[in-house]
Structure 1
């Protein structure tokens, strides 16, 4: 699909002229030109409900959403024009108001992706505040988030969509946290058969039944002030305790707009979405940004990138829907690069990667397989979503991209007494962000009228301490130098290592603990632990893995393995050195994967250029192609060496992902 640098011909009216709303943003040099005009003069919608209604006015008959039932049945989908979500969101928002949701009330949403969840998420922001939650969290975590949000209304999956939905609802109702439960149906399922399930202590109904009772006349009180809260997204933070990061309507609309102007595709391009709607990327990048630009989005089924059928049919899905762009994590692209292209994918022009470091081998193999260059991005929940993006036509090796318009990024030195000192361009320090996308804080309590927010040490004079180490050059390009938070990213979900470490340290024989992510072909990373134990202890790694698994408050954080070591590695200044542990974990992952493979002589993990890598030594007669095939399932940089009969090595680089 050809890219265009022209401004929109459809955008006009109260939202601002096309020359202001859609400036050229296709190269690094455009940044200064864009910022020469103040953001407040750009004419952005004030709130997300305005974004929805505006799209309905401008493109009432253009296809907006195609929501698949699943990867195996990818041609079966629910399709709606831009005019239909505007009406559906309005009706659903009125239904939420009827359930008692006011402007400062949160609506908890726990459901796999489906057509109705898109409507419910936007309606929650129109009526009150959306609080989307990952349903795979431990019930204790979900209950804690319900208490923090103060939500009394829960939108969740009916048993046909996800049997866990009503089970979670029952737990929250029994705890006295929820008194209204609204059920979502599977995509394209038709009217519900029979009445809704009953729960003692709560009103239960299908959301679709309630929305049918209301008209689609825009609700005047749905237009929130830009400074009011739009959503609460949960994040593990740095302590392991669940936190709710608050987003204002200004945060979300501005970040979605900067994403939309950075897209190099025209309005007829079709985007692909597969991340869960409890993830900020799904809401900002694949929901609000396309609504602003008038671009169609094809949504994967409820399993998203965990759907085996999606991978089996992926290239046919690209051809069928004429997809032009997608975003995913490195492990997804690693898998896709190994799937033979069995369809016409000439429309695919953009593939954005983020959430974890991108191995160069993944970039190379995806480009070879598809002809599409992966472009990196950077962002975090506390800065709404996206803060930096790359340019396919102007690659900056090692960079995650240039700062987004109107966001300021810098590296600072944080002294032991907490003082900040700005560092010169190109010097590594803690990355800090300011601008209209920086969140107002975490929810710490609420009054009768509103939430009480606190930056909890991450905010200083409008600047956000990201916890990441980076350098920023004179052009605003960011080069990450390590993850200060050392988050473990499992299937796109952030796991704080402190959850694992605290559980391990609770064992009486453990004297020190560190948790890192081990590469995994299915989840990208899984948590593993490294510990030291007291002298004379007979405890084993399996004992400790079982012990910690029973204590973590989040099932996904249960360590897959625990290794007992003599000492944990530290840096020259005495700080924990987790890169070495990540390299050791990568080594073990490859050892397990190559176990029993004839001719594999050695697997060695190491730190190379600031990232974990693995060297595999094979005998000259080994089936090298088979070894490479196995290692390509892991998102890692790898070198395979061959030992010949005269003990000389013949070395070449292979892809381990």
Structure 2
């Protein structure tokens, strides 16, 4: 961060709406916030929660945590309060930095969690809470020069991954530097004239591009969310050169018709990942934008690029358009059987990865770490794939039943647990159904108790009160029975396969 600030100084680093900050301004603000944190007793080895939607202050706040040696614990604002409270409680967070637009939720979390102090971008609503800007104005603008080591944890990022249980993946100073290096080496090589538009949440994959662009002297253009009209207008106005999309966003862009009415000629690179891209959608995107697409495959435990499908690969077309790419230069990839032995070329197995950008392990989860990280340092992805004779990987299934809807991971168990809490529901099973917008739509099959019933909307509202909105079933089917194996295991595939066959 210091190198980027010193090198690029008065260039624009970040833009959000009609506001912009130079490299120097971001750096000084990060210094002030870092000194605020240190003055409040939060320094190297401590953890601070972040509850922020995309905004211009996201960058200096993230950088401030790094400068203070603090590990940040970002919360997805779309999650239910119970999910957010669980994250803060599990990681022992005592300070929550929150956006002005999220004050109500922050107060509710503070009410639920004793001893949680709020440092907000809006006016404090309780005695003892503080305003970030007022505190920063009084703080020193100089870098606190907190010494950090490569193994220091700087990010605790929750993911439901493929197990359905919230897991806190820990990344270190070293792994975060390796992620930036991985992106610059394998995915994109920005320069001073380049700019990336961020419409997806910065706490996930989109945020990993901030540091690479910072190092290169580029601009990060931050939007509060994804709206096709606003997104394309921003590309045109800012002459953006790069965007990062999940398949749902590309589908919405192409369906809106707005691309044809705008000048997007400045775009050089369209990066996509997070969930499999339907081939017809990719081909339509290439016909519209040209050969500008690059795909990555990764996960929170090993972001961003375990494999990459380059522009040249897309130009070759054919079967490669169904691949998730070739192993990145800084990653070892192995496809194994259940015992960890490499399978023959073309056979299906589990992807394992070993790389400098992998996590340091899950927070306070020894048993889960033992199941996920092998003694010799391989991360078990729990994704199933095969490799062709050139080494390109093709995802064929998941080792679990995880649903990826609009780029977000949903595990059926948590939705089923929410449905089973309804007094009318005796049994249920949740699967992913094909959807032209979301790629997969959360779909529930429900068996009612004798003499009981409930409307689809009643059940959806019931789940909405307990889980994030993207986890609420898009469809609910009432059935007489849920298919099970002889030992009583729910056979989700018997429900899911007919939906995909049609």
**TM-score higher than 0.5:** yes
Residue correspondence of structure 1 range 436-455 to structure 2 within 5 A: 436-444=356-364, 455=369
Say if 2:110 is the partner of 1:173: yes
**1:43 paired residue number:** none
- Whether the 8 Å contact between 1:518 and 1:527 is mirrored in structure 2 is yes
Quote the Cα distance in structure 2 between the aligned partners of 1:576 and 1:377: 33
Question: 1:117 deviation in Å?
Answer: 2.1
**1:411 paired residue number:** 335
**1:192 paired residue number:** none
**2:120 paired residue number:** 183
The change in CA–CA distance for 1:170 and 1:455 in structure 2 (over 3 A counts) is same
- Whether the 8 Å contact between 2:124 and 2:131 is mirrored in structure 1 is no
**1:58 paired residue number:** 7
**1:385 paired residue number:** 304
**1:635 paired residue number:** none
**1:357 paired residue number:** 276
**1:428 paired residue number:** 348
Residue correspondence of structure 1 range 472-491 to structure 2 within 5 A: 472-473=387-388, 475-491=390-406
Find 1:514's aligned residue among 429, 434, 449.
429
The change in CA–CA distance for 1:325 and 1:577 in structure 2 (over 3 A counts) is farther
**1:500 paired residue number:** 415
Say if 2:61 is the partner of 1:142: no
Deviation string for 1:152-171 (max 9, x for gaps)?
1111111xxx1xx2222222
Say if 2:385 is the partner of 1:470: yes
| SS of alignment partner, residue 457 of structure 1 | helix
Deviation string for 1:484-518 (max 9, x for gaps)?
33333344332221101223445688665321234
- Whether the 8 Å contact between 2:52 and 2:58 is mirrored in structure 1 is yes
Quote the Cα distance in structure 1 between the aligned partners of 2:372 and 2:186: 28
Normalized per residue, the structure richer in helix is: 2
- Whether the 8 Å contact between 2:403 and 2:410 is mirrored in structure 1 is yes
Q: Normalising by the residue count of structure 2, what TM-score does the alignment of the two structures yield?
A: 0.88
The change in CA–CA distance for 1:583 and 1:295 in structure 2 (over 3 A counts) is farther
Instruction: Compare 463-472 and 209-218 and name the one that shifted more.
Output: 209-218
Quote the Cα distance in structure 1 between the aligned partners of 2:463 and 2:297: 31
- Whether the 8 Å contact between 2:161 and 2:409 is mirrored in structure 1 is no
- Whether the 8 Å contact between 1:257 and 1:289 is mirrored in structure 2 is yes
Find 2:266's aligned residue among 338, 347, 352.
347
The change in CA–CA distance for 1:369 and 1:254 in structure 2 (over 3 A counts) is same
- Whether the 8 Å contact between 2:291 and 2:311 is mirrored in structure 1 is no
The change in CA–CA distance for 1:298 and 1:554 in structure 2 (over 3 A counts) is closer
Find 2:181's aligned residue among 257, 270, 283.
257
- Whether the 8 Å contact between 1:316 and 1:342 is mirrored in structure 2 is no
| SS of alignment partner, residue 178 of structure 2 | helix
The change in CA–CA distance for 1:577 and 1:425 in structure 2 (over 3 A counts) is farther
**2:477 paired residue number:** 563
Quote the Cα distance in structure 2 between the aligned partners of 1:123 and 1:453: 33
| SS of alignment partner, residue 146 of structure 1 | helix
Quote the Cα distance in structure 2 between the aligned partners of 1:426 and 1:572: 32
Quote the Cα distance in structure 1 between the aligned partners of 2:23 and 2:476: 51
Quote the Cα distance in structure 2 between the aligned partners of 1:532 and 1:179: 41
Question: 1:383 deviation in Å?
Answer: 1.1
| SS of alignment partner, residue 362 of structure 2 | strand
- Whether the 8 Å contact between 2:323 and 2:394 is mirrored in structure 1 is yes
Deviation string for 1:401-432 (max 9, x for gaps)?
12222211111111xxxx32221233211111
Structure 1 unaligned segments of length 5 or more: list them: 1-51, 69-75, 186-195, 446-451, 585-604, 608-613, 615-657
| SS of alignment partner, residue 136 of structure 1 | coil
Find 2:252's aligned residue among 332, 335, 352.
335
The change in CA–CA distance for 1:438 and 1:571 in structure 2 (over 3 A counts) is farther
**1:620 paired residue number:** none
| SS of alignment partner, residue 442 of structure 1 | coil
Question: 1:573 deviation in Å?
Answer: 12
Deviation string for 1:615-652 (max 9, x for gaps)?
xxxxxxxxxxxxxxxxxxxxxxxxxxxxxxxxxxxxxx
The change in CA–CA distance for 1:344 and 1:227 in structure 2 (over 3 A counts) is same
Quote the Cα distance in structure 2 between the aligned partners of 1:117 and 1:496: 29
**2:37 paired residue number:** 96
- Whether the 8 Å contact between 1:151 and 1:177 is mirrored in structure 2 is no
Find 2:140's aligned residue among 177, 196, 215.
215
**2:212 paired residue number:** 289
Quote the Cα distance in structure 1 between the aligned partners of 2:243 and 2:464: 38
The change in CA–CA distance for 1:261 and 1:293 in structure 2 (over 3 A counts) is farther
**1:193 paired residue number:** none
- Whether the 8 Å contact between 1:55 and 1:291 is mirrored in structure 2 is yes
Structure 2 unaligned segments of length 5 or more: list them: 315-319
Indicate the structure (1 or 2) with the bigger Cα radius of gyration: 1
| SS of alignment partner, residue 397 of structure 1 | helix
Deviation string for 1:222-249 (max 9, x for gaps)?
x421111011111124443322111111
**1:152 paired residue number:** 94
Q: Normalising by the residue count of structure 1, what TM-score does the alignment of the two structures yield?
A: 0.69
Quote the Cα distance in structure 2 between the aligned partners of 1:505 and 1:316: 44
